[in-house]
Amino acid sequence: MNTLARQLRAVDYFTLGWGTMVGVGWLVVMDDWLLRGGALGTLLGFVIGGALLLPIGWVYGKLVVAMPDAAGEVAYTSAVFSPRISFATGWMMTLAYFIVCPWEAVAVGRIAGYILPSLDSIELYRIAGRPVYLPHLVIGLSLTALLTVLNYRGIRLSATFQNWTSFGTLALFVVFVALGIRRGSPANIQPLFTHTPLISILLVIQIVPYFMTGFESVGKAAEEASPDFRARGFFRAIWMAILIGILFYASIVAAVVFVAPWRQLTGEKFMTAVAFRQALGAQWIVQIILAAALLSLFKCFNGNFVAASRLLFALGRRGMVDPRAGRIHSRHQTPSTAVLCIGFATGTCMLLGDAILVPITEVGSVACAIGWSATCAAYLALANARRDVAILSAGERGMAWFALAVGVTMALMKIIPIVPGHFSVSEWLALGIWIALGVAATASRKLIPK
């Protein structure tokens, strides 16, 4: 068999999109979010930033329906732009997905250490002043190995895992938020902003692309839809993922700042859990939150693993990287080589430990904003060059141009030095390393012409 297995249904695409989007940032780096924007600034940052992604989601929905190709952004841009632009777009989007995998692998060790403090022991080394513990590495590497095997053996196994963890996360989230807000107080919300209102909101909007990347992962699994799946379902899955994502992030931020005086807790490890524990005066609420976080981590890790491996597979299939990455397993009908590559790279990167958490957030935001921008530009170009793919009314064309402007603005906010919250040296270094790897991957290969 030289094609991917066709086994995914509508619900699978929703849990892939939403599950890939929402990980454990709401537990692990809530303090960073609130220090950026304050209570109201963070809430508005996620709502506004998320709403700005709806036009981008609309563009992706249109393109996935028209071109259900695992290559995603590579396929869209290849139709109208040069192979180099197509490869660069695909390579940046691969980074946007892949970079989440070691993030989650590191985060699971931190959560485990919070549950069992004895795991914060056997320090191996330090990076950027942060210790790397042996038990954390073992846990993260074990989870990476599990998901690698799961995705190697079949998309149906991976999708079933994604469904259970996604709906389990939502159920536990509703439980602990409903219990916590009964003990909250409006007095806890201050300060509303940590900087001026505009700067506070801007600093949060800058990281929204990273924490809401995932809705477009639906397209990476488009070739694996079951034979009776209706293409319009791609569009619905993408929009539902964005809308539920906005609601989720807005709700968790509002709940945390309402249940406890958040400004006093920003120095605490996992301040989300600490805030609810303080509000209810009980440890059991923390166990519910940690259970939700672990389920959320598993689904986000798995969803990004699926998306990253499919993009790498598509790049290999098109000859843009080593063609061996484009191999399909004869029995499991999975992109087996690409899956093994993503698993190995994840295990290698997580050796950097906690030091990668915040820089990864920043670099991932720029990577996906670049990919979104190129996709929107390709859609507009396709509307002019191939009317069989995209026939746009004036309103639709305006929507696509607005989506392009949003993507470009989100990328520039992190790149231009005069904008508050721009890239630091470590973030430029991380981005530079990825670009260098891309150059190395194609240095000895001739790109396939359009």
> Residue 247's pLDDT is what?
94
Distance from CA of residue 138 to its chain's centroid?
A: 23
Does 3 fall in a domain? no
Unique residue bearing structure tokens 């939502």:
170
Does 4 fall in a domain? no
Unique residue bearing structure tokens 């260098």:
436
Question: For residues 353 and 132, is the Cβ–Cβ distance under 8 A?
Answer: yes
Name the burial class of residue 394, with classes exposed (0-12), middle (13-18) and buried (19+) by CB atoms within 10 angstroms of its CB. Answer: exposed
Region 31-42 average pLDDT: 91
> Residue 229's pLDDT is what?
87
Unique residue bearing structure tokens 């029995």:
331
The fraction of the chain above a pLDDT of 70, given in percent, is 94
Does 157 fall in a domain? yes
Please say if the pLDDT value at position 432 is more than 50: yes
Region 300-313 average pLDDT: 91
Region 352-356 average pLDDT: 73
Does 1 fall in a domain? no
Q: How far apart are CA 205 and CA 212, in angstroms?
A: 11
Please say if the pLDDT value at position 404 is more than 90: yes
Q: How far apart are CA 92 and CA 98, in angstroms?
A: 10
* Residue 129 φ/ψ, nearest 5 degrees: 80, 0
Question: pTM value?
Answer: 0.86
Higher local confidence (pLDDT), 387 or 274: 274
Q: What is the tally of structural domains in the chain? A: 1
Nearest CA among 373, 394, 409, 406 for reference residue 81: 373
Ranges 77-91, 193-207, 322-336, 384-398: which has the least confidence: 384-398
pLDDT band, very low/low/confident/very high, at 449 (cuts 50, 70, 90)? very low
pLDDT band, very low/low/confident/very high, at 390 (cuts 50, 70, 90)? low
Ranges 92-106, 149-163, 258-272, 357-371: which has the least confidence: 357-371
> Residue 386's pLDDT is what?
60
pLDDT digits (tens, 9 = 90+) for 117-146: 888 888 888 887 788 889 999 999 999 999
Please say if the pLDDT value at position 47 is more than 90: yes
* Residue 434 φ/ψ, nearest 5 degrees: -65, -40
Omega prior to 191 cis, within 30 of 0: yes
Region 384-393 average pLDDT: 63
Higher local confidence (pLDDT), 146 or 437: 146
Does 87 fall in a domain? yes
Does 79 fall in a domain? yes
The residues with which 341 forms a beta bridge, in sequence order, are none
Region 289-297 average pLDDT: 90
pLDDT band, very low/low/confident/very high, at 447 (cuts 50, 70, 90)? very low
Region 107-123 average pLDDT: 86
Question: For residues 275 and 263, is the Cβ–Cβ distance under 8 A?
Answer: no
Q: Which residues of 67-106 are buried (b: 16+ CB within 10 A; e: fewer)?
A: bbbbbbbbbbbbbbbebeebbbbbbbbbbbbbbbbbbbbb
Question: For residues 107 and 301, is the Cβ–Cβ distance under 8 A?
Answer: no
The residues with which 126 forms a beta bridge, in sequence order, are 131
Which residues does 230 contact at the CB level (< 8 Å), separation at least 6? none
Name the burial class of residue 164, with classes exposed (0-12), middle (13-18) and buried (19+) by CB atoms within 10 angstroms of its CB. Answer: middle
Does 2 fall in a domain? no
Domain region containing 26:
10-442
Does 449 fall in a domain? no
Give 24's DSSP letter. S
Q: How far apart are CA 30 and CA 37, in angstroms?
A: 11
Query: Domain of 222: which CATH number?
Result: 1.20.1740.10
> Residue 445's pLDDT is what?
63
Please say if the pLDDT value at position 418 is more than 80: no
Region 435-446 average pLDDT: 76
> Residue 245's pLDDT is what?
93
Please say if the pLDDT value at position 321 is more than 70: yes
pLDDT band, very low/low/confident/very high, at 401 (cuts 50, 70, 90)? very high
Which residues does 266 contact at the CB level (< 8 Å), separation at least 6? 31, 34, 35
Ranges 169-183, 334-348, 358-372, 435-449: which has the least confidence: 435-449
